[in-house]
Amino acid sequence: MTSYSAQFKRCDRENIFNGREMRGNKRCRHPDPRRRDLNNLDGFFRLNGKAIAFRAKMSVDVDGGYAPCAGTRGRTDQCPTTYFYKKLSPGDEALPKWRQKYVTSDIVPYVVIPYDSLRPGRPNDRESREFRDKTGVAMGDVGVVVDGDKVIPVLVADGGPHNKIGEGSLALFDALGDTRCAKRLSSDPRFCTKVKNYSLGRTVEYVLFPSSKINDLTPSNTNRKVSEKALKLYRALGR
């Protein structure tokens, strides 16, 4: 894991990851300081053989949210989240189609893991598998984000570039008390129509639990079920 974490640090310094130069939106160190979003990863740690922990920056992910799915999408935003629902609870049929399928950034505190291959559409490439192979954490697993005395249950719900780490949903920023919403929908203030697209000014701790996927998640039960399981696993660590 030490050599793996070193790749994120090298990307922050040189835009090189696993010996390859990262270009375009995969750059860790953008030439414009205003667009620079370094990983600031301090390494991976195993906790009691039950969890993977790391400290890193947190940038904002709006995928699955109102803005990209029903409003105005930003240049790199997408409506789909990598994790998608396979079941609905009674009443979920009345939700908009995008909320029935994808994890809503405005409502669900979720985190993003390194996932995307250098070649889009190839989820089994080495780059795409690397984080999962080394940590055991996969899409749909649960965890917590720890920031001071705050412990926020989260779902692993989206995948980002394989060389970047540390990203969370709008709802996660809200739970941390550091919202990234500049304007909310007047008819339903849960949803964000304008996003302040910049990172936290500090690192946070991510604690993720391999093989913790909940098989019966639906749009309406996600927050409750993720909270119950993630907090139970976290408390079992004795922290």
Cα gap 83→101, rounded to integer Å? 9
pLDDT at position 114 is 95
Decide: helix, strand or coil at residue 232: helix
Q: What is the pLDDT of residue 124?
A: 56
Q: How many C-beta atoms lie closer than 10 Å to residue 23's C-beta? A: 8
The per-residue pLDDT for 33 is: 77
Joined tokens for residue 200: 């936290």
Can you give the length of the chain in residues? 239
Quick one: pLDDT at residue 134?
A: 95
Digit-by-digit pLDDT tens for the chain (239 residues) are 899 999 999 999 999 999 999 998 889 998 887 777 899 999 999 999 899 999 999 999 999 999 999 987 777 789 999 999 999 999 999 999 999 999 999 999 999 999 976 555 555 577 778 999 999 999 999 999 999 999 999 999 999 999 999 999 999 999 999 999 999 999 999 999 999 988 998 999 999 999 999 999 999 999 999 999 999 999 999 88
Residue 3 is encoded by which pair of tokens? 């050599």
What token pair was written down for 193? Answer: 């129509």
Q: How is the chain split into domains, by residue range?
A: 39-236
pTM, 2 dp: 0.94
**Nearest-angstrom CA–CA distance, 175 and 108:** 10
Q: How far apart are CA 83 and CA 89, in angstroms?
A: 17
Give the integer Cα–Cα distance in Å for 138 and 213: 8
pLDDT for res 118? 57
